[in-house]
Amino acid sequence: MTTEKIRVPVLSPSGEPLMPTTSVRARKWIAAGKAKPVWNNLKIFCVQLLVEPSGTETQKIVVGIDPGKLFSGIAAVSSKAVLFTAHVLLPFKRVIARKQTQKILRRARRGRRINHNIPFVNRAHREKRFDNRRGSKLPPSIRANRQLELRIVKELAKLFPVAEIVYEYVKAKGNKGFSPVMVGQKWMLKQLPTIASTHRLEGWKTSNIRKHLGLAKNKDDKSIQDVSTHANDGISLAASRFIQYKPFRSVNSHGHHWVGSIQLSNAPFKVISRPQLYRRQLHFENKSKGGIRKRKGGTVTPFGFRSGDLVITTKGKKTVKGYIGGYSEVNKVVSIYNVSWKRLGQFSVSKTNLLRRSNGLCVA
């Protein structure tokens, strides 16, 4: 990408998104009292005008979504600059594990409730109230993936005047196994038009555009939190609304060539996930020493913090910024996690300060 300055989102006095500006101009507006910095859920530096703008005309801004099973890439692009890129950590595996545990506990409860020593017709089985197999519902793990992507696009639409959305569509192939990415595509394509005009693009076209733009692609390890793993595909998808590979015919020749142009620039790169909260349960499944079952789960601590809150804390010479994920009322400590939900350690409540309340997103 070029070394062009990063663009800053701009909001009108009423909160409507306008065309982004340069960081230098944004700082001048703040110094002159014409704008103020505002927080947003994606942790992007953004300004809101305090005076009426000189104009409200907007150019086309496109959001590209590269969906995946474990990771996704999202980018916002205009014809003059790349505005935003993100590497999304999807909750697929965790939701599957949670539902598996839920199934085990449910079967255990029913096993304890039903008396197996009496005839089958007299047992207290749950009454069949409806056919729960005909709801045409998405599996919970797939639904969680798509809802996280949808949430991020909605947050982008609050910062930029998004005109179009491009979604990579995965087609089934007879010689390959069925991919979980294919599940939920049609559901997603029904949700996105409520935000902006939506188009779909096949993967091989995304690859051609990425190669034409000279963007790198890391295929060795897709878990690497870098723009080259998934975010560049999001840029390529969004760029498809500005450049196309079209046929041409002249007097002496014919073939295909690229039509249109787009300028690449530096852009904020974010790693986004959702906090892995524990649902409130009465106690752990297994007993502790002495037959006591400890409390498990819950999002509210007795110290004024909630699970998912962004905090800053210290331990010795180490200063840590992360998210609340648990606590110990006895030791008066809270557990701090990073954006990948790896525990950074336990820290004293008295040395922990709140930066932002939980909004359902972890951004780094």
Same domain, 256 and 329: no
**pLDDT at residue 1 is higher than 60:** no
Structure token digits, residue 179 = 């991919």
Range of lowest pLDDT (305-314, 325-334, 354-363): 325-334
pLDDT band at 3 (very low <50, low <70, confident <90, very high): low
Same domain (yes/no): 77, 218:
yes
What percent of the chain shows pLDDT beyond 90? 65
288 and 237 assigned to the same domain: no
More confident residue, 193 or 278: 193
| Residue that is last in its domain, among 252, 273, 294 | 273
Alpha-carbon distances of 331 from 50, 53, 194, 278, 309, rounded to whole Å: 47, 53, 48, 20, 20
146 occurs within a structural domain: yes
Region label for 45, one of left (φ > 0), alpha (ψ between -120 and 50) or beta (otherwise): beta
238: left (phi > 0), else alpha (psi -120 to 50), else beta? alpha
Over residues 129-174, the pLDDT tens digits come to 777 666 678 899 999 999 999 999 999 999 999 999 999 998 877 6
The pLDDT score that the predictor gives to residue 121 is 87
pLDDT of residue 137: 84
Same domain as 348, residue 286:
yes
Same domain, 81 and 173: yes
Q: Is a pLDDT exceeding 90 seen at residue 54?
A: no
Average pLDDT over residues 175-203: 89
Q: How far apart are the first and last CA of the chain?
A: 21
pLDDT at 133: 66
User: Does residue 253 or residue 179 have the better pLDDT?
Assistant: 253
- pLDDT, position 330: 85
Give the predicted TM-score (pTM) of the model: 0.88
Tell me: do 269 and 279 sit in the same domain.
no
What average pLDDT does the chain have? 89
Give dist(CA 18, CA 160) in Å, integer. 6
Domain assignment of residue 113, yes or no:
no
Residues 145 and 263 in one domain: yes
Q: Are residues 189 and 303 in the same domain?
A: no
List the CATH number of the domain containing 161: 3.30.420.10
What local confidence, expressed as pLDDT, does residue 176 receive?
67
- The boundaries of the domain holding residue 320 are 275-364
Average pLDDT of the segment spanning 218-235: 92
Per the structure, how many domains does the chain have?
2
- The residue out of 229, 257, 273 marking a domain boundary is 273
On whether both 213 and 360 belong to a single domain, the answer is: no
Give the domain CATH number at 303: 2.30.30
Whether 52 is covered by a domain: the verdict is no
* CB-based contacts of 359, cutoff 8 Å, min separation 6: 41, 308
pLDDT (tens digit per residue) in 229-285: 999 999 999 999 999 988 888 888 898 889 999 999 999 999 999 998 877 676 677
Q: Where are the beta strands (DSSP E) in the chain?
A: 7-11, 17-22, 35-38, 46-49, 61-66, 71-78, 82-89, 162-169, 197-202, 243-249, 254-260, 269-273, 310-315, 318-328, 333-337, 343-348, 352-356, 362-363
Residues 295 and 260 in one domain: no
Domain boundary among 241, 273, 305: 273
pLDDT at 113: 85
In a domain, 87, yes or no: yes
- Amino acid letter for position 48: Q
Quick one: average pLDDT of 111-140?
A: 81
Q: Which of 61, 10, 14 is nearest to 38 (CA)?
A: 10
Same domain membership, residue 321 and residue 258: no
Q: What is the pLDDT of residue 205?
A: 92
What's residue 71's pLDDT? 95
Say if 9 falls within a structural domain.
no
State the pLDDT at residue 283: 64
Are 145 and 87 in the same domain? yes
Residue 70 has pLDDT above 80, yes or no: yes
What does the pLDDT average to over 200-215? 93
Q: Is residue 285 part of a domain?
A: yes
Residue 233 lies in a domain: yes
Structural domain includes residue 46: no
| pLDDT confidence bin for 302, thresholds 50/70/90 | confident
Cα 185 to Cα 168: distance, rounded to the nearest angstrom: 9
